């Protein structure tokens, strides 16, 4: 936390779009950190060398009217939790742009919307958890990552005035800091863009559909239980190193874990683990399988999950 004052001291209170453009080298590809359902994220370097992340919302992103957007971002900026990426601010400015229309060039006003966040240095979870990854963490770290993700989700679901349903939880939306502490990002999009639009945009992001709960994907039903389904797939992916959204055609991630991850398999895959750690693996598998129950009413709540991970039993 020591770098927070210097981070904020060289960041203007309400930076103009040009400032954010300059620190990202003109939103250059070399500064690009990733792309999401509503825009592209770039690394920006402040005057004192401190990095921040700048999200440039896509021009066709269905951004809410100014007042609603300002309130929505203000609420998100007030959120502070060790397992949530902190939003530092936003900028919305009209930009004059030349476009071609019916063979003629015309000048139009386009509102450019930018959000800026704390920079999380170790990138996203996806690159660490594949079995093929050379940087795959040991079980102790994996277990702490699982617990951290669950703590962050509990904050969104239970510690706000009204629950924030993430709607787009998957490994690329979970970032890791220098100590491998997980931080959930891209939360609260439904507050800025509307729930139905969030669903449509998420469906259109290649490969992320597989993390969406069936009742949300097919019927547009939204509840915290949708996030629990996604969480279950993320937990099983961390444990198995197998991508949940591209499972074998004839075997879903759920069935793969249920059929393959027997006690014998766990013991052989994690032969170096002691009895306590093996029990942690079993507990996480049990939680993961319950989370992806097709019947959403049978999925555990995030409070029950956190209690179970901490060795307590919620009643």
Annotated binding site for ATP: 56
Give me the catalytic one of 22, 131, 168, 295. 168
Full 3-state SS string of 276-311: HHHHHHHHHHHHHHHHCCCCHHHCCCHHHHHHHHCC
Q: Are 84 and 155 in contact (CB under 8 A)?
A: yes
Q: Are 136 and 130 in contact (CB under 8 A)?
A: yes
168 is catalytic: yes
Strands (E), 77-190: 87-101, 104-118, 174-176, 182-184
Buried b (16+ CB within 10 A) or exposed e, 97-106: eeeeeeeeee
- Which spans in the chain are helix H? 4-9, 17-23, 66-77, 126-129, 139-158, 189-193, 195-203, 214-219, 224-240, 253-260, 263-269, 275-291, 302-309
Contacts of residues 95-103 at CB distance under 8 Å and 24 or more positions apart, as own/partner, are 95/17
Coil, strand, or helix at residue 217?
A: helix
Q: Which residues are catalytic?
A: 168
């Amino acid at each position: 936390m020591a770098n927070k004052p210097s981070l904020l001291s060289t960041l203007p209170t309400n930076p103009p779009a040009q400032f954010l453009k300059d620190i990202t080298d003109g939103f250059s590809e070399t500064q690009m950190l990733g792309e999401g359902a509503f825009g592209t994220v770039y690394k920006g370097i402040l005057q004192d060398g401190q990095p921040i992340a700048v999200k440039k919302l896509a021009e066709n992103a269905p951004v809410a009217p100014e007042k609603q957007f300002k309130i929505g971002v203000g609420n998100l900026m007030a959120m502070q939790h060790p397992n949530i990426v902190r939003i530092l601010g936003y900028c919305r400015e009209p930009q004059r742009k030349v476009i071609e229309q019916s063979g003629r060039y015309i000048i139009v006003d386009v509102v450019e919307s930018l959000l800026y966040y704390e920079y999380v240095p170790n990138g996203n979870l996806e690159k660490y958890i594949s079995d093929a990854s050379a940087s795959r963490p040991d079980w102790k770290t994996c277990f702490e990552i699982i617990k951290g993700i669950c703590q962050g989700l509990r904050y969104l679901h239970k510690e706000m005035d009204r629950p924030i349903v993430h709607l787009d939880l998957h490994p690329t939306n979970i970032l890791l800091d220098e100590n491998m502490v997980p931080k959930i990002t891209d939360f609260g999009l439904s507050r800025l863009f509307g729930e139905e639009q969030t669903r449509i945009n998420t469906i259109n992001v290649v490969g992320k559909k597989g993390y969406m709960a069936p009742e949300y994907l097919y019927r547009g039903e939204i509840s915290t239980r949708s996030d629990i389904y996604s969480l279950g797939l993320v937990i099983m992916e961390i444990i198995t190193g197998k991508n949940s959204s591209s499972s074998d055609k004839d075997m879903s991630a759920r069935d793969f874990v249920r059929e393959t991850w027997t006690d014998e398999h766990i013991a052989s895959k994690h032969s170096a683990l002691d009895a306590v750690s093996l029990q942690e693996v079993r507990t996480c598998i049990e939680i993961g399988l319950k989370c992806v129950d097709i019947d959403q009413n049978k999925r555990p709540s995030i409070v029950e999950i956190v209690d179970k991970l901490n060795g307590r039993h919620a009643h």
